Amino acid sequence: MNSGPQTPFSEYLHATKYRAQHESFHEAMNRIAGALTDDRDHFLILREILEAMRFMPGGRIQAAVGAPKKVTPYNCFVSGTIEDSFLEGHGSIMARATEAAATMRMGGGIGYDFSTLRPRGAPIKKLGSSSSGPVAFMDIYNAVCKCIASSGHRRGAQMGVLRVDHPDIEEFIHVKQEEGVLEGFNLSIGITDEFMRAVRDDLPFQLRWGGEVFSEVDARALWDKIMRSTWDWAEPGVLFIDRINEMNNLYYCELIAATNPCGEQPLPPYGACLLGSFNLVQYLFMTDSGWMFNWEQFRKDIPMAVRALDRVIEVATYPLFEQEQEAKNKRRMGLGVTALANAGETLGLPYGSPEFLLFEERVLTTLRDESYHASALLAAELGSFPLYDKEKYLAGKFIKTLPKWLRDVIAKNGIRNSHLGSIAPTGTISLAADNVSSGIESVFSRSAIRTVQTFEGSGEHLIEDYAYATHGTIPVEAHEVTAEQHLLVLAKAQSLVDSAVSKTCNVPSDMPWTEFKSLYFRAWEMGCKGITTFQDGGKRKGILKKADTEGMACRLDPITGRKECE
């Protein structure tokens, strides 16, 4: 059995990101397995899974668990509610900025809902002045982020969310179109069902805050501004915030207004989530008739991962007491997959094809059912999460999509973890696993030059796609996948995941404008919780360069798809 990364660059990356100085991969997996198991049998099984890289815990878990340095194993958090006060009170703008600093300093990314702040120009009666508005206050958080280089060469990551009905929404849409502004943020708009219906039916739409209507706008004109910005700049992203709350397993005890920096984890105030991904190429095996997928091994591994991530909640270091309370009251985790494209295409299923979608469905259905089953069995042993309410939980809209046998097990035993699934981008852990395809994304390129950031600066490295280099698999590259295929892969995943999905839908620059906008409407109608698009010809830079087969160095921006050769 191969243990750990096999290519020099991936070994270097894993060592510098996730391991102590002079710690081998075997020693790191020994450390992680030792900290996340409570008996020898589980230890031996989990260590073998980790060493084979069939399951890869989130990068923060790999760096933090069992290590002497004081960092958090949680990849992502959401801020406490930001109160409409600059200095006064526990939840003031500055108090939340201080909490954000503590969170990022220990390795956690963080998301915020800025919709709670009064709009620009609104009066502040106590001071006899007027508000600067949420976009201006975001500069404070951006400055904090820029000053913090968290451990493991990981700089602070942030998500800023503003509701579409906030009076400052137009300023928010355009703010990052100027170079150097809010570079520490990803931005997303919380899109309501009310707004989508107003756009569909060509109705006026009210912008309001604090119970007061500030103005009434043309919904379709506002929608066009959002679409133009995401077409040109790939931001802001779109979160269907009502869908997020409607499908939330904990609809009965929390309200979600923001997500983690990459959008795959909608979280309540002080929410946190543990991430981990199954590396699907490690379940492939060769037979006389070709490559096959080891479904039996996949099913056996899932309960081991559930038990291990549940254990993280107990051994974790938390930046804030409120985050610890939130985590232990709900025991969220986010199990996902990576290398879906590599695995499917090695099996002969081109990315986005009907056959590929059936493979995706089987993978994610297996992961959903086995993880929920494992959590229910764990509840019988250790108890359900403290805020579990049997009647209300089983009435949840996502829970009702589970098969009856599984709902019966939950009804009998309870459930240990409120949420079990999440499709994360898995960028660095996938690269450290010999550059397998990230998450459920298509392969970017057979070979590429990647820019990697460290404390010492940036460096470029030539890397090859795992399946292409190892198995000779010819991938469908990202720019060859149609927008329709991207959307179908996204929607299929979202229907089987209780949290959310990080997925990029690449679109060509000659795509008709009405067709581009309809992509977002279709995502809403198909039950997606959000959507991100990148179009060929946009204005953003990326971290990958496509390596030309004839040796010419070509830059292919993974965000825009634009190719520039030297």
DSSP 170-203: HHHHHGGGSTTSSTTEEEEEEE-HHHHHHHHHT-
pLDDT, tens digit (0-9, with 9 covering 90-100), for 145-164: 988 854 434 567 899 999 99
Q: Does the active-site annotation cover 435?
A: no
Catalytic residue among 99, 235, 249, 262: 262
Q: How many CA atoms lie within 13 A of 286 on its CB side?
A: 2
Would you tell me the crossing angle of helices 25-35 and 40-51 to the nearest 10 degrees? 140
Q: How far apart are CA 378 and CA 25, in angstroms?
A: 29
Pairwise CA distance, residues 435 & 467, whole Å = 9
Per-residue model confidence (pLDDT) at position 18: 94
Q: Which class for 212: exposed (0-12), middle (13-18), buried (19 or more C-beta within 10 A)?
A: exposed
Query: What is the 8-class DSSP label of residue 122?
Result: -
d(CA 558, CA 345): 20
Task: Tell me which residue of 116, 118, 119, 158 sits closest to 141, measured CA to CA.
Answer: 158
Helix (H, G, I), strand (E, B) or coil at 104: helix
Report the candidate in 188, 195, 210 with the shortest Cα–Cα distance to residue 131.
210
CA distance 552 to 77: 42
Share of the chain above pLDDT 90, in %: 80
List the alpha helices (DSSP H) in 333-403.
340-346, 354-382, 390-394
Tell me, rounded to whole angstroms, the distance of Cα 273 from its chain centroid.
Answer: 10
Q: What is the pLDDT of residue 553?
A: 34
The 10 Å Cβ neighbour count of residue 178 is: 8
Residue 390 confidence (pLDDT): 98
The residue-averaged pLDDT of 338-359 equals 98
pLDDT value of residue 565: 32
Higher-pLDDT residue of 457 and 82 is 82
Residue 76 backbone phi and psi in degrees, to 5: -145, 150
Joined together, the tokens standing for residue 549 give 């087969």
pTM: 0.93
* Catalytic residue list contains 248: no
Q: What is the pLDDT of residue 552?
A: 32
Share of the chain above pLDDT 70, in %: 92
* DSSP state letters, 137-149: HHHHHHHHHHH-E
The verdict on whether 564 is a catalytic residue reads: no
pLDDT at 559: 34
Res 319 pLDDT > 50: yes
Residue 542 · residue 559 · CB < 8 Å: yes
Give the pairing type, strands 272-279 and 333-338.
Answer: parallel
Q: Does residue 84 surpass a pLDDT of 70?
A: yes
Q: Are 423 and 262 in contact (CB under 8 A)?
A: no
Residue 463's pLDDT band (cuts 50, 70, 90): confident
End-to-end CA, the chain: 42
Task: Give residue for tokens 């994610």.
Answer: 364
Residue 282 has pLDDT above 90, yes or no: yes
pLDDT band at 547 (very low <50, low <70, confident <90, very high): low
Q: Among residues 75, 186, 249, 260, which one is catalytic?
A: 260
Q: How far is the CA of 143 from the CAs of 71, 119, 181, in angstroms? A: 21, 21, 10
Inform me whether the pLDDT recorded for 327 exceeds 50: yes
**DSSP codes of every residue in 254-271:** ----EE-TTSS-EE-TT-
- In angstroms, rounded to a whole number, what is the distance separating the alpha carbons of residues 232 and 239? 18
Predicted confidence (pLDDT) per residue in 199-210, tens digit:
999 999 999 999
SS (H, E, C) 216-258: EEEHHHHHHHHHHHHHHHCCCEEEEHHHHHHCCCCCCCCCCCE
Instruction: Give me the catalytic one of 99, 254, 264, 345.
Output: 264
